[in-house]
């Protein structure tokens, strides 16, 4: 299965702090993607990191990828209350056309 497993399941921090979420997967990948879901809404694509990249930045987001350990991390710096959401990682193997998701990390940013 290409499903990613996010850790921790829940994370609660104060506004202004950094939030780090981790993802582990089991198969070889073409890329790994992170998505955000606000409560009861659709997922939104945040960032994609290819298998030959080790780190990628986008605004306040920093993603790392370690293919030898089959793991990735998402760092959100200077968190805001609006960052409160569930975050999902999705490893993409390229061998088929589906993305599967784990249970996600529920991030709560307290004002």
Partner 1 sequence: KAGVTQTPRYLIKTRGQQVTLSCSPISGHRSVSWYQQTPGQGLQFLFEYFSETQRNKGNFPGRFSGRQFSNSRSEMNVSTLELGDSALYLCASSLAGVLGNGNTGELFFGEGSRLTVL
Under the rule (CB under 8 A), what is the footprint of partner 1? 30-31, 33, 35, 40-45, 48, 88, 90, 92, 94-104
Give the DSSP H/E element, type plus range, for residue 6.
strand 5-7
The CB-of-109 to partner 1 minimum distance in angstroms stands at: 21
Considering the complex, state which of residue 15 and residue 47 has its C-beta at the smaller distance from partner 1: 47
Residues near 95 by beta carbon (within 8 Å), at least 6 away in sequence: none
Considering the complex, state which of residue 85 and residue 104 has its C-beta at the smaller distance from partner 1: 104
CB of 58 closer than 8 Å to CB of 47: yes
Considering the complex, state which of residue 78 and residue 103 has its C-beta at the smaller distance from partner 1: 103
CB of 18 closer than 8 Å to CB of 84: no
The CB-of-111 to partner 1 minimum distance in angstroms stands at: 26
């Amino acid at each position: 299965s290409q499903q990613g497993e996010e850790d921790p399941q829940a994370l609660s921090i104060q506004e202004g702090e950094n939030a780090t979420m981790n993802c582990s997967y089991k198969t070889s990948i073409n890329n790994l993607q992170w998505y955000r879901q606000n409560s009861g809404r659709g997922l939104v694509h945040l960032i994609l990191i290819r298998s030959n990249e080790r780190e990628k930045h986008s605004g306040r987001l920093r993603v790392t990828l370690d293919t030898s350990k089959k793991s990735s991390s998402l760092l959100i710096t200077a968190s805001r209350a609006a960052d409160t959401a569930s975050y999902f990682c999705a490893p993409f193997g390229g061998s088929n056309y589906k993305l599967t998701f784990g249970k996600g990390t529920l991030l709560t940013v307290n004002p």
